[in-house]
Structure 1
Amino acid sequence: MANEAKFWNASIEELTKGYIYDSQLEVFTCLICGEYYRKGIIYPNGEVLYEAKLAMKHHVQEAHQSMFEYLMNMPKKYTGLSDLQKEILTYFKQGLTDKEIARNVDAGSTSTIRTHRFKLREKEKQARVFLAIMELLKQEEYTDELISIHKGATMVDERYAITNAEKEKVLATYFKQGVNGPLESFPSKEKRKIIILQQIITNFDTTKKYTELEVNEILKSTFDDFVTLRRYLIEYGFMNRSKDGSSYWVNR
């Protein structure tokens, strides 16, 4: 996910479309990969020319199949859905009847599918109420929002309950010359590690694959013990690497 903050701050409508529009910059940006199209420019697609908004719609469909597929493939920690629920929702999307779905699901029966349909609708109601509660909390009480959790987080727990104020304080403590300067030391406390790693990963291009040597060179400019930084970037899910260690990339 190239635009993590934008993705998590997007509205439900924007998430279903797969892109956002910045009215000041007049740019449509894909929430998945960061591809963008500027309003007023015509973009070619094969033999067809598209204005920016339509070009973005085609991009989402062609590059990412559909937002339904993308969202359904996100980990359970984000969707809250079991594998069985995802399977059944996919069949709902295909327009299958409960009887048809029952034939495709192990140990399924028409009544079982109806029960799942009811539970999923109840889950939708709960989600709407929860979103409304959080919006009211944000407007009236919640003055210091928590930082976004990166998509590759291996285990989301209290370590990620980090406010923006905490983040700024930690960065100022460990990057005494500013975030573009060297790291004074690598913290031992979990929350601080996450904050530091979240900052360090911004030095990498989310669309590029790196060799281990290239990763080391980038990390060296921040901290002498680049091996420790590289290890924790992988361990905490900020970065992925191939099985043979030949390539590294940002977990999007």
Structure 2
Amino acid sequence: MQQPIGIFDSGVGGTSIWKEIQKMLPNEDVIYLADSKNAPYGTKPKEEILRLSIKNTELLLEKACKLIVVACNTATTNAIDYLRTTYEVPFVGIEPAIKPAALKTKTKKVGVLATKGTLSSSLFHNTSKLHASGIEVIEREGTGLVDLIESGQVDSTETYLLLQKYIAPMLEAGIDCLVLGCTHYPYLIPQIKKIVPPNLNIIDSGEAVARQTRAVLEQQNLVAISRKSPSEHQFYTNRELEILESFVKGPNIKTDFIVF
């Protein structure tokens, strides 16, 4: 089926998920919606997160998306149950990768860097209880990091110092795995690697989400047919195009950027 996959996030962070999906599903067209004007979602009340998630979903449905990836941990943990019961289109969500971290840790101590909206959600706590029995999960809110990424300051000294402030106590507590619980945070991995020891596992959900997207498409017979022409990718944002463009690069794709 040649209808596009829809992806939405509270900004540019979900492009880390888009990259994995584009890599794993090169024949698929994609429409990406960056709600950067309302970023970050992680500091908003649940009712506001739900309202924004509904708005984003309906915009993507208007564009005939066959599947929607909620490329935002906070939106997933606070809104995906409602979205799945309200709309017929299949949804793929994202939550912090507690399970792989629990399987990898040798110190039995795992750090989770995420937004307040994710860490305070019932889905996050249920996931931790289910997969992290006997594991100490050390949570830290990454306050301010999304704002810095959204303003194009991924490599700034301010970002580095903020990361150092958040990660240092987790290292002192003995973590050997760090879970990135926000789709913006994979862009900070080069900075994080300057702070953590080389043997520490940094874990994000991008590849797993792409695999799940492929599995759902296959289960529901929605996979795009093979094609000779490049796949088409449209990126919508309600803030500066230049920042979104700087996060999106890829060969053999047709890319359009649109302000909505």
Specify the TM-score bucket, using the shorter chain as the normaliser.
Answer: under 0.3
**Structure (1/2) with the larger helix percentage:** 1
TM-score normalized with structure 1 length: 0.26
Larger Rg: 1 or 2? 1
TM-score normalized with structure 2 length: 0.25
Higher RCO structure (Cα 8 Å, ≥6 apart):
2
